[in-house]
Structure 1
């Protein structure tokens, strides 16, 4: 299977699982895709694709967005961190970047599997630590377009219900990925990736349809366990690979 077909399969898997679980399309697609292609080559493809799904979800669930949390706590740190990560990306060694992403994936997948097994809740954090973790999540998003693991970790203990929390997070990804896509357009990285973006775009519709179908038929917890186990393997391969 060529790299382009394999990447298409990873994108379909990632967006199907996000439609089932509501989280992690870029984390999954990027971690698997990084086994085949450099991270800096994948980002201008995966980030614009993500705008389609998150834009639809933001519009559909706009009434549930917590604008005070979004504008007062999340976006200031995330935007600053994302800008810093974007500026640092060209100066980082590709092998070091790949291994750093592997560490992030291993931490995230291992933590989530532990929580699922032990049914533990994350502790409530002080405001200063939440803001610091939000800045770190933005940095991760600027480097890997994958700030979700750190942001969810940093926002532990919020009083939002599941629907409002999800709607607010989706608004973050739509905002940041729109900014990253504009940056890729300005620096010239988006134009060469557009044929791939357009070629893979129909997979988002297929993934949404499959995810909705599977969500009604299968247990979400089993899907989460499967994907986190897959990410553990992927993170290990990213660390030990060439």
Structure 2
């Protein structure tokens, strides 16, 4: 098991943050976990440690939002996410962490910038309907980025947020999506040797925080009004996208340390 105090100093808040996100407060918030843990260990090891914890969180979240989901959207995004996971698993050894961070961070920034621009220029936009073509594209990208660094939030939010679903319906739909995606990731993670004894024992140590974080998120979810909820989602999407791009540029050597 990892015993470095620095690791636990960043891992404990990281797990709690993801739990709060899983509880329904801010779809992009959970993306911060791997970058935070990467301050002490490699991003790939951080992702492997987080996966069992995410699955426990998914189980708690499924109970908290049971019966609240959008069936039409799930029929579109779940099959495409499996396709994305398959592509990511097959190309895992050819993609760097910086590649994935730059891709998803850029998409998140451009999307939120466009959203706030439209809000300022034209006011609130009409809700979009579920769309098989758009949903398949963003679902595939969400599966792809989720596999590498558990960063499926921005692509999924890009597709779902413009639909302006009722907040519990939105949260319940994302909960089911992540639960299925994370379970599908177990087999390729195992085949790629990500679940060694060090990673699994560290996961077991941190997993006690999973229900605590989710419970906090569910509590906050029911106390934040819908307008603020979506504003928080978009702001978190922008923050996490900016952080991912900044880290990617550092890893490419384009920014000074």
**TM-score over 0.5 for the pair:** yes
Alpha-carbon distance in structure 2 between the residues aligned to 1:232 and 1:80: 23
Range moving further from structure 2, 91-100 or 72-81? 91-100
Deviation at 1:8, TM superposition (A): 2.1
Deviation at 1:207, TM superposition (A): 1.7
Aligned counterpart for 2:153 among listed residues 148, 173, 177 = 148
Aligned residue pairs, count: 241
With structure 2 as the length reference, what TM-score do the two structures score?
0.74
1:193-228 CA deviation, whole Å, 9 max, x = no partner? 111111111222332344355556677558657745
With structure 1 as the length reference, what TM-score do the two structures score?
0.78
Deviation at 1:53, TM superposition (A): 1.6
- Structure 2: stretches of 5+ with no match in the other structure: 252-257
Structure whose residues are more often helix by fraction = 1
1:49-103 CA deviation, whole Å, 9 max, x = no partner? 1111222222343322344542x31211111111111221222234434444543
1:111-170 CA deviation, whole Å, 9 max, x = no partner? 676688765466557532332232222222233322222123224565853323322221
Deviation at 1:11, TM superposition (A): 2.0
Which residue in the other structure is 1:75 paired with?
78
The 5-angstrom pairing of residues 225-240 of structure 1 reads 227-228=236-237, 230-231=239-240, 234-240=243-249
The 5-angstrom pairing of residues 175-194 of structure 1 reads 175-191=180-196, 192-194=198-200
Compared with structure 1, are the counterparts of its residues 89 and 54 closer, same or farther at alpha carbon in structure 2 (3 Å cutoff)? same
1:174-193 CA deviation, whole Å, 9 max, x = no partner? 01101112322333211341
Compared with structure 1, are the counterparts of its residues 124 and 195 closer, same or farther at alpha carbon in structure 2 (3 Å cutoff)? same
Instruction: Indicate if the aligned counterparts of 2:24 and 2:218 stay in contact, CA closer than 8 A.
Output: yes
Instruction: Indicate if the aligned counterparts of 2:97 and 2:148 stay in contact, CA closer than 8 A.
Output: no
Range moving further from structure 2, 175-184 or 9-18? 9-18
Which residue in the other structure is 1:86 paired with?
89
- Runs (4 or more) in structure 1 with deviation over 4 Å come to 107-126, 156-160, 212-230
Compared with structure 1, are the counterparts of its residues 19 and 100 closer, same or farther at alpha carbon in structure 2 (3 Å cutoff)? same
Tell me how large the CA RMSD over aligned residues is: 3.4
